Chains A and B, each alone.
Chain A
Amino acid sequence: MKTSRLFRRISLGSATIWLALFVLAPNLLILVTSFLTRDEASFVAPAFSLDGYAKILSPVFLDVLIKSVYLAGTATLICLLAAYPFAWTLARIKSRHKGLLLLLVMIPFWTNSLIRTYAMVFVLKGKGLISQVLTGLGIAEHPVSFMYTEFAIFAGLTYTLLPFMILPLYSSIDKLDESMLEAAGDLGAGRFKAFVHVILPLTKPGIIAGCMMVFLPALGMFYIPDILGGGKHLIVGNFIKNQFLTARDWPGGSAASVLLTLIMLLLMRFYGTSSRRLGKQGGDEL
């Protein structure tokens, strides 16, 4: 009894200290910094100012924000469309290799994503893999480079974040009772209607979780647009990085970070309520 309480205190306490030191404190520092004044010599001067927030209300930042939402949103959609059939097959397959297939989804995680992004360069560049295959097959006459295009960014984001979409989808499809599909068929629903009316609503928690786990990191993955997009396509992550490292405007960068955090919190809040409501909402339509 006593040891279990002690164990609980130690484990909970160390986790709390860890979170306070490395999550809460830095975020508080950023929050404080966002309300301070810019200073050339020591980055920030301890005087209250709303300059940082003025900066993120400027058209420049709004452009970046819209562009970010577009890039991250499109990448999320591509991930969803690519991952759903894959996760479906993986969950429904009656094979001993199921575990192995899941492992293959995770293996790329073992390599740093920055390194994998550089590896993408060798696939996409003019003398790269895709180009060589296309010229080799005679489809393209001259070497084609996909570097520094939106396509390259989507490819990079999708490649990096696809597992985050597959895993939540897999777990919600795996939980789907086979008899639900049979019941839908039994009651006259063809494949498409069964998908729309039964499968989609029942796997909604996985879809939402997957989209959040792709969309939110995609907003901040500055190195992918940097490396594959050649810096032509800025996302919020790039903007923040530039404020800190190039423009040396710490309050501005902090204000943008605060905004990004707020967006994430709002989306998570939305996810929380929507997943809790699933299956228990009061409705009176036919």
Chain B
Amino acid sequence: MTGNNPIIRLENLVKRFDGATVLDGVSLDIRDGEFLTILGPSGCGKTTILRIIAGFETPDQGRVHLDGQPLNDLPANQRRVNTVFQSYALFPHMTVRENLAFGLKMNKVSRREAERRIDDALDMVDLSHLARRYPDRLSGGQQQRVAIARAVVNNPLALLLDEPLSALDAKLRKRMQVQLKHMCRELGMTFVFVTHDQEEAFAMSDRVVVMNEGRIEQVGTPEEVYEEPVNMFVARFVGETTILDGSVVSKERETLHAMVEGKACELETARDFLPGEAIKIVLRPEDIIVEQETDSEHALWLPGTVRDTVYKGSTWDMVIALDSGKDVLVTEFFNEDDERIWHKSGDRVMVSWYKGWEVVLPDEDVTAL
């Protein structure tokens, strides 16, 4: 079902509210059948994108195409997309079944066909036994499933989900994430999901769009976004990071000779840098190696003191205060055969990282000046 032709194409969308620019030239191709998540802090414009696709907002500039057709002048009720609202927006004067039937009735689906599709949708979200209830007699999780079923039952080309899990408790949320992912696969339907929760985005998506201040910072698979962030914003926003300062000495091919935290070392990067340029080295907690003493002269070993340790069941987390003043977050995975020493708070250690796992980015704070 998953094809490479875009089901939704956004071209250079610009939207302003009261003089504030909410979307600043957003272009994006959403592939047929994919689970795409738009991720960003609140106010970054991610919900506005969804509302423009749904037809609740009109872009000041730019175009929206659905299945090859221009959408700009089509009112919301004629677009073959459906929305799951953050507040669910179930009709309180209709039963669960009537809520599901509403869209089908509006689109003049025959009664028999409607009955069958409603039964299927209710079955899918496991709510057949509550079909005659009114929304105010349902729990938050049940209302949420009704909202999803009410949208899905219309068989839209794309399902738009506006932070639909934000009101649920953590456990239910995890379950719904798995369910939504399954639904996307089973129905072969395109899901466009908006969230500010990075873990949620990674758990479900085929591709993640990271947004900030009305612009798309990066589009890619969760792995790409996590392991190869294109700039400091993405690196900081997605996952835990340790960021070291450095400057470029010279570059040959993919090897960068640089000074990092005052020590000379070699880094790997495909990016181009000029000698003397200020750089940031982004490390994930699992990239980092901690040893009590070192013999190697080649790798960059930074001395530090273990400040905190957190036992998390499957991992052992540490915060190490480097002598240069930075804090380093470390995650070590348990290996029962391993006879390594687990460090304790107060231990003196040497810190480095697995060669090639680092991400080197230009120092934007300096280049911006």
Contacts and interface: CB of A to CB of B under 8 A. Distances in A.
B41 interface: no
Contact of A185 (B76, B90, B150): B76
B75 A286 contact: no
A30 interface: no
A202 B93 CA distance: 7
B279 to A, nearest CB: 46
Nearest to B81: A186
A187 interface: yes
B122 to A, nearest CB: 13
A42 interface: no
A195 to B, nearest CB: 12
A285 B98 contact: yes
Interface stretch (B22-30, B99-107, B225-233, B298-306): B99-107
A280 interface: yes
Interface in A173-206: 177, 179-180, 182-190, 193-194, 197-198, 201-202
A179 B150 contact: no
B364 interface: no
B276 to A, nearest CB: 53
A186 B82 contact: yes
A180 B77 contact: no
A172 to B, nearest CB: 13
B167 interface: no
A185 B136 CA distance: 22
Contacts of A99: none
A280 B54 CA distance: 30
A187 B89 CA distance: 11
Nearest to A194: B77
Contact of B154 (A179, A187, A285): A187
B202 interface: no
Contacts of B78: 188
Which of A186, A188, A201, A282 has the most C-beta atoms of chain B within 10 angstroms of its own C-beta? A186
B101 A279 contact: no
Contacts of B91: 180, 183-184, 198, 202
A177 B87 CA distance: 10
A179 B102 contact: no
Contact of B132 (A177, A190, A282): A282
Interface string A251-286: 000000000000000000000000000111011111
A280 B77 contact: no
Given A188-B103, A279-B134, A179 B87 contact: yes
Contact of B83 (A186, A283, A285): A186
Contacts of B132: 282-284
A185 B91 CA distance: 13
Contact of A182 (B85, B90, B93, B151): B85
Contact of A189 (B81, B106, B151): B106
A183 B85 contact: yes
A182 B76 contact: yes
Contacts of A180: 89, 91
A179 B85 contact: yes
Nearest to B160: A186
Interface in B99-134: 101-103, 105-107, 111, 114-115, 132, 134
Contact of B98 (A179, A282, A286): A286
B76 A186 contact: yes
Contacts of A177: 87, 89
Nearest to A186: B83
Interface in A200-231: 201-202
Interface of B: 54-56, 75-78, 81-83, 85, 87, 89-93, 95, 97-98, 101-103, 105-107, 111, 114-115, 132, 134, 136, 150-151, 154
Given A183-B91, A189-B102, A190-B75, 12 more contacts: A177-B87, A182-B89, A183-B85, A184-B77, A184-B102, A187-B106, A187-B150, A188-B154, A194-B77, A197-B102, A279-B93, A286-B111
